[in-house]
Amino acid sequence: MAAAQLGKMAALVPVISPALGLSLGTSAWVVSLLEIGGASLGVVAGGLALRLGLWRSLQLGLAALALAGLGSASAQGAPSLMAWRLLEAAGYLGITVSAPVLMARLTAGPGNTQPRAQMLAMTLWSSFVPVGVALGASGAAAAVLPWGWRGTLLAGGLLAAGLALATYRLAPAATGATAGSPGDIAAAGASSGAADASAGTAAWCLALGFGLFALFAIGVIALLPTLLVHGAGLGAAAAGQWTGLASLSAIAGSVVSAVLLRRGVPARWPALLALAVPGVLVWGVFQATPQAALAVSLAVAVNVVGGVYAGLAFSALPRVVASPGQLVRANGLITQFGAGGSLLGPPLMAAGIAYFGWQGGAMVASTAALLSLPLAWRAMRGL
């Protein structure tokens, strides 16, 4: 539901922009503004969620999504739309800093060890963006014709409200993982000796590399509907549906990463390959007058291969920290840089397109992929 807020706006922007008079740059910011909270406060939010209670943070995040969805349906211009989008950003942040830590805790072995089940659970978590974006994009594209963009936003808010109510009723079954213990809170901010310093370096490299990956991965998905509408001549509904398919295809990459983990394949070289290949494929996506079938096929390939990296990166997260308590801090770090990349990706690629034409978007994306390679090399050492 959190990631669906990114997909729904990417699909609705071609319809909302003429209605509210938004430029391409403003439209890109409307899409990526969802990540502003995570980009600026990811680490802080991780500690706050630990003190507030992880389950409670999850519930409040969903409530914020519901209220913002209902409010944005009444937006009359860019300022009001962006204001509601900021509230969605707060809800998104509350969910993304709490949910993966809950998953990691609930699948940890005796003594908070890191069994294969935990690695696979974190690989599953890595698919939340493509799954959510696909549901948001395809759902919004299907709803915008009968209901209009305002009715579509209203329906999304009601769905989030229903899910918030469901999590409220399920809260007593949260198996004790609803709040951080004092020991966990202390451990999340502590470091001790060379082992912690090494883990800290790996975690920073993992987070920075993931941020660069998110920059081009989200940028491609966010701008694909506009490319298909204005470059390939598709309708908004069709463009949204194809974008949803392209995003959903990343699940195939997550499955591949899960298979690699189950077979004990070292993560480093597959991760590097999964970053390098999309950096080449994006040049075929961003063409001035693309063939719709080719652009969608290559966008699918970008997301499948990128999904392999995302799965390997999240499965590595519990293994690059020195203690279970530090997982909260490391998750906040990767959330912050991932959100920063998602926030900057669409407007940076839109700026590249404005200056150099559609292939300017490919230029930005491939540069981000290239810069992420040495960071992934360091983060995945020994994994």
DSSP 3-state helix, strand, coil percentages of the chain (rounded to 5)? 85, 0, 15
Hey, what amino acid is at 81?
L
d(CA 171, CA 144): 34
For the stretch 293-322, pLDDT in tens is: 999 999 999 999 999 999 999 888 878 877
Domains: count for the chain: 1
Mean pLDDT to the nearest integer, 194-212 = 75
Residue 66: both structure tokens together? 């519901």
160 vs 129, higher pLDDT: 160
For the stretch 74-96, pLDDT in tens is: 988 889 999 999 999 999 989 98
Q: What angle do CA 108, 260, 97 make, to 5 degrees?
A: 40
Q: What pLDDT shows up at residue 111?
A: 57
- Among 45-49, 212-216, 256-260, 312-316, which stretch is predicted with the lowest mean pLDDT? 45-49
For the stretch 316-373, pLDDT in tens is: 887 887 766 677 778 878 888 888 888 888 889 999 999 999 999 999 999 999 999 9
Residue-averaged pLDDT of the chain: 84
In this structure, which long-range contacts are made by residues 188-195, counting pairs with CB atoms below 8 Å and at least 24 apart in sequence?
A: 188/46, 188/47, 188/50, 188/325, 188/326, 188/327, 188/328, 188/329, 189/47, 189/329, 190/323, 190/325, 190/326, 191/322, 192/322, 195/322
Terminal alpha carbon distance of the chain: 31
- Domain residues for the domain of 212 are 4-379
For the stretch 172-182, pLDDT in tens is: 554 444 444 44
pLDDT of 185 strictly over 60: no
Q: What pLDDT shows up at residue 284?
A: 93
126 vs 111, higher pLDDT: 126
For the stretch 46-63, pLDDT in tens is: 778 878 888 888 999 999
Hey, what amino acid is at 132?
G
Q: What pLDDT shows up at residue 286?
A: 93
Q: Classify residue 176 by its DSSP letter.
A: T
| Beta-carbon contacts of residue 102 (< 8 Å; ≥ 6 apart) | 54, 55, 58, 174, 177
pLDDT band at 281 (very low <50, low <70, confident <90, very high): very high
What CATH code is carried by the domain that includes residue 10? 1.20.1250.20
Q: What pLDDT shows up at residue 99?
A: 87
- Among 8-22, 261-275, 280-294, 315-329, which stretch is predicted with the lowest mean pLDDT? 315-329
Residue with tokens 């509907």: 225
- Rounded to two decimals, the pTM is 0.73
Distance of CA 129 to the CA centre of its chain: 4
Sign of torsion, CA 353 288 136 237?
positive
Q: What pLDDT shows up at residue 171?
A: 67
Q: What angle do CA 247, 255, 125 make, to 5 degrees?
A: 70
Q: What pLDDT shows up at residue 324?
A: 63
Q: What percent of the chain shows pLDDT beyond 90?
A: 37
Q: What pLDDT shows up at residue 190?
A: 43
27 vs 66, higher pLDDT: 66
pLDDT of 19 strictly over 70: yes
